Chain A
Amino acid sequence: MRTPITLLALLGLALAQPGQAQAPEPVGSRPQQFTQTSRIVVPLRFDAYYTYEQVGEALRALAAAFPELAQLEVVGTTEEGREIWAMTVNNPKTGAPLTKPGVYVDANIHGNEVQGGEVCLYLLNWLLTGYGTNEQISKVVDRNAFYVIPVVNADGRWHFFHDPNTPSSGRSMRVPRDDDRDGLVDEDFPDDLDGDGSICRMRKKDPFGQWKADPEDPRLLLRIKPGEKGEWTILGEEGLDNDGDGKVNEDAEGYLDGNRNWGWAWAPPYVQEGSGDFPFSAAGPRAVAAYIMARPNIIATYALHNNGGMFLRGPGTKADEPMDPQDVAAYDLLGKNAEKIVPGYRYMVSWKDLYPTYGDFDSFTYAHAGAFSFVTELFQTTAETYRPPDPATPAPAEDDDSDFRPNPERERERLKFSDHVAQGDLFKPWAPFKHPQYGDIEIGGWVKMSSRLPHPFMLADLVHRNAAAVLFAAAETPRIAMEVLSTEKLGAGLHKVRVRLGNSGGLPTRTFQTVGKRTAALDTLTVRGASVKVVAGGKLTDPYLEQVEYKDHKPEVQMVHVPGYGKVEYQFLLSGTGDVTFAFTSLKAGAVSKTITLP
């Protein structure tokens, strides 16, 4: 049984010393943890999971191995005092990070959704070890700044590995909350009764129960149909009535959902469970949002979650529809290609194809950071197969993880997968247990490191493909080239000059929402020359029919937006002679300039 963490915090106990390397746990002490067991060295391995401490070790190892390209920093501290780490990958020889299109990736904002942390580590390891050996990797490292936060919910990841859990528990930020409203906080949590490191399920023999054993695989329970005789009552997750209120496990640690606590379309908890008292009330989202807002060059963000195999984009609620169609097109470019890079994953609209969410990460970063933002739901249990090689057999539908639509066929296949592919690692056989309150019961079911997490042998594929989806986006960030198309003498010392800004990346220099809703100042194209006056200047909308939207005031500064795979052209009427410099300065697409000499 665990001591409630809030009590420890009150007593001022230091829970962890995350800045320091900690010895890995002895091998075999925690069955089915699937964590790294050897010393962590570069290149990193992806045949097992990294605990919170091991993520720190891995990041420090990368920073030490690539001191020029990789910078490790602490962006904040969690409720329980753990560090939240960020690593920047940038080649200083090609410019400071803020002068390049930024690609941001984070993971594990839900404590139990750990494998995103491995995708982050894989991406970092790939960028750093691939630089100078792989041409494409070298290109993105030279051209982009990568910002990676492998573990947002540092407390959550720590507890997920160190405490007994279900595959779904430990999601919350560690903000104490009185779930059962009895005046006590976090006092009735699940208990690992059989001490195996997992919170499984409890069942009790009961002729009046609503469940029976599946005749094909008795480990599985099926809801009885009218007229059938029951065998079992499901008592819920493994645990005790710790606070003696007649309920079991009704007030576990948390609950504040890190992905409902952001400052866009935030709604209080009575509208949506877990949003917290106010936007950014939790330490992690607050620190991470500040980190992102301080890096306005970020133009693409990925937040890695599990599970179901989805590339989700906003809006999070219907109220934010319609999204600007040109932004949808940019999202489609990334989303539809991501679907191909990671087979089985679907590109979806969050509120419509999944469910509405208020105060989520990707709606916030789209609106306020002006970044194309995805939430990736990593892993599909449909990848856990045990079936004949019959191409005519369609793949079974994905579980929707809700149990509202039981899918016994899939469950049977997953059990066989556990038996024969994972050697029983994923399912704990039902075993008798003497429960202090329920008497003779059985404990069994899917273990912590199952259901939402790939078995380690599938991890390498998952981390590689999902990191590749991020690299696809990086390659599509805006790349602006400037051409001075023509200069023409109009007489009386007046020159006509045309300048083109072309984008060879698929993403625009800003989201179209930024332009349409006027949420931020755009980029500038400035014209400067010591003996040159800008008489007129504006956007050239038709070069053949000479249609120019001349700007009424300050023609020497043009506010500019360049679409993906597109161009914009400007025409200036200049008087004077000598050097004149055209400079494009972008928040998210770097800077480029050209100087010509007027005769």
Chain B
Amino acid sequence: MTQLARRAAWTGGFLLALLTSTTAAAQPATVSFDRYHAPREVVAALDALVKASPATTARHTIATSPGGHEVLVLEIGPEVGRPARRLPAVLVLANMEGTLPVATEAALRLATLLASKPEATREMTYFIVPNGNPDAAARYFARPLVADPRNGTRVNDDLDDQTDEDGPEDLNGDGVITAMRVKDPSGEWLPVEADPRLMRKADPAKGEKGLFFLHTEGVDNDGDGATNEDGPGGVDIGVTFPHLFRPFTATGGRWPGSEAETYGLLRFAFAHPEIAMTFLFGATNTCIAPPEGGRKGSVDFTEIKVPEDMAKRVGLDPARTYTMQEILDFVRPIAPPGFEITESVVASFLGLGAVVNPLEDDVKLYKELSERYKELLKAVKLDGKRLDPAQARDGSPELWSYYHMGVPTFSMDLWTPPESADESKEKTGITADTLEAMSSETFVALGEAKVAAFLKEVGAPPEIKAADLIAGVKGGQMTPKQMAGMLRAMPKPKGGEGGDPRQKALLAWSDKELGGKGFVPWTPFKHPTLGEVEIGGAVPYADTTPPAAMLATLLDGQVPWVLTLAEKLARLKIARTEVAAKGGGVHELAVWVENTGSLPFPTAMGKRNQQPAPAVVILETAGAALLSGKARTPIKELEGRKATKLTWLVRADRPGTVTVRLESANAWGDAAEVKVGGAR
């Protein structure tokens, strides 16, 4: 965009903001949260919202799914219809997984909340995607009930000569696809002792032998000996984003953005540089559990090894390590004239790769906010015992937003069944986080019994003994911090002696609150090819989807947190200007730019990947000459609640006005006029 156009857009944005602030709030459209809304009803609800407030809401179609659903963005804000927006925006993505109807309801609730609170969008825009994976989302409203995150792309899962030819069947006609267990001497599964409705894997190391095979409910339609191995559906949109994308997986799609839903969203997000924050309603909850690190392969810019051939080419020593700055300082003077050596150039030539763990400053921020959020949960009485939230998956929109968009990224899973009673008792309370902060002395003081209990909790192999661990820490061979890293890298214990904690919680919940409707009791069935089987098991969605009667309470309590976070967005202002005459018509102009928000501008990751554009301070000197400093000065970073001082030397023989404009794509902006000039 030209300078002129940008300026016009910027001024326009402010004018519009002023105008809408004086407009009376339109009558909000109502959406009732006493039931779940199918994708088509969601579209209707968005249309109703747009109809009720056409000046401040709009819907955008960013893709059509292979199953024929539109992927929609609901825009709520004062800049609807403008080609470029100058006010910051919050991107809200819901149910990217496709199997979490409560996430879609939360997005709808947010939309109605914003419609009823015009002040929340007076100076910012919300882009809400209520159904990021509509093909999958539609399954909750179809029968038989099956939970499957895949969209309608046709994928030949079993690599035979047919596609989508062997999906599940509702054999017992109960409207639900559950599981089949078949007695078989080579089976791998056992009923859980405490509750034989639950199944767990037999552990041969403990001398156990499996008794059952487990299948999903259905028949072998294509006669290849496998049941339901190539059902309809292709790609799980929740893992198709570019950060840590895994190619060649069963449900991950071909490449990041290979699916229309994902590509449309990537395109939309990068066409909107005003996006300052992403909020996801889905499977993870970074509001409660900040993102964990512990992945291998993150590059440390303070310890870079230069491969031998590269080192030879430029004259560096392959045997030692360098900081990024040292490499830059070394290479820049010998670079050919006009060839700019940047961090990115060095990183790509050395093949240093991407950041894979959340940066420390950002984790700190997440942790602080998580404490505030837990206080909110307490206040609204939603702080009961719950299951641990899942961590973001590789290729997820959560990771993409944080690592690629570089904006603060929060997520909320809204509900889990309460943790079952026997899981919550006797817990040591030791986690990766507590270990991280623990001194070696404190660890040793825990004593052998507690450490042993902790090891059991996390499912450590039996050869790791508490006494050895304590001795190791005592002797300095290991620190609690290192253990925290190892713990984070470990897979979560699943299906131990007591069975999967989520299934256990579901069963308890089903028995107590659902009158048993969350679990189909194992019932004998005569299977056409497998013979005598039992059909039963967890009802799909029962462990993620609260009864509709709970929706209003859950959403009213949690969804407003999005608005609270949005209030914390970085907001850049001109705090002060000063002019000091230096004599001879020369003046020093000082401008303090401050971030009045509590979130940083940008995140630590945003600094690293240079993704959100810097703010720019622009001087219009109108006849006065700039002796030092630039007419356009980028501000690349500013912590929350901090200010930075910029100075220029200006020569102005006659009194005049310097206009100082502060422009930012996603942190508002400001302007000031300063009287400068006149030789004294």
Contacts and interface: CB of A to CB of B under 8 A. Distances in A.
Interface of A: 4, 6-7, 10, 178, 181-185, 201, 234-237, 243-246, 249-250, 263-264, 266-273, 277-281, 317-318, 351, 355-356, 358, 364, 367-368, 400, 402-405, 517-522, 524, 526, 552-554, 557, 559
Given A278-B257, A553-B224, 19 more contacts: A183-B632, A183-B634, A183-B663, A201-B337, A236-B337, A246-B630, A249-B338, A263-B258, A264-B255, A267-B353, A268-B611, A269-B610, A271-B347, A278-B242, A279-B257, A280-B263, A281-B266, A521-B160, A521-B161
A250 B339 CA distance: 10
A181 B254 contact: no
Given A236-B337, A557-B161, A278 B404 contact: yes
Most chain B beta-carbon neighbours within 10 Å: one of A278, A317, A557: A278
A374 to B, nearest CB: 21
Q: Which 8 A-B pairs have the closest CB atoms?
A: A263-B255, A403-B336, A272-B348, A356-B351, A183-B616, A236-B338, A270-B609, A234-B337
A45 to B, nearest CB: 36
Given A245-B632, A271-B352, A279-B255, A182 B347 contact: no
Contact of B247 (A273, A351, A367, A402): A367
Interface of B: 1-3, 5-6, 156, 159-161, 222-225, 242, 245, 247-248, 254-258, 263, 266-267, 270, 313-314, 334-340, 342-345, 347-349, 351-354, 403-404, 608-611, 613-614, 616, 618, 630-632, 634, 636, 663
Contacts of B611: 268, 270
Nearest to A368: B254
Main secondary structure of the interface of B (DSSP, over half): loop
Contact of B313 (A263, A405, A554): A405
A541 to B, nearest CB: 21
Given A522-B159, A559-B161, A182 B616 contact: yes
Nearest to A319: B353
A280 B257 contact: yes
A552 B222 CA distance: 13
Contact of B314 (A235, A278, A280, A404): A404
Contacts of B343: 270
A281 B270 CA distance: 10
Contacts of A4: 2
A346 to B, nearest CB: 15
Given A181-B636, A263-B258, A278 B223 contact: no
Given A278-B270, A356-B348, A557-B160, A182 B338 contact: no
A404 B336 contact: yes
A317 B351 CA distance: 8
A268 B632 contact: no
A273 B349 CA distance: 10
B438 to A, nearest CB: 34
B225 A559 contact: no
A519 B255 CA distance: 12
A571 to B, nearest CB: 19
Nearest to A585: B161
Contacts of A553: 223-225
Nearest to A400: B313
Given A249-B338, A273-B344, A402-B336, A182 B224 contact: no
B242 A266 contact: yes
B628 to A, nearest CB: 10
A594 to B, nearest CB: 19
A279 B242 contact: yes
A184 B634 CA distance: 11
Contacts of A280: 257, 263
Nearest to A517: B248
10 contacts: A10-B2, A178-B613, A183-B618, A267-B353, A272-B348, A273-B348, A318-B351, A356-B349, A554-B222, A554-B223
Contacts of A402: 313, 336
Contacts of A250: 340
Most chain A beta-carbon neighbours within 10 Å: one of B338, B339, B345: B338
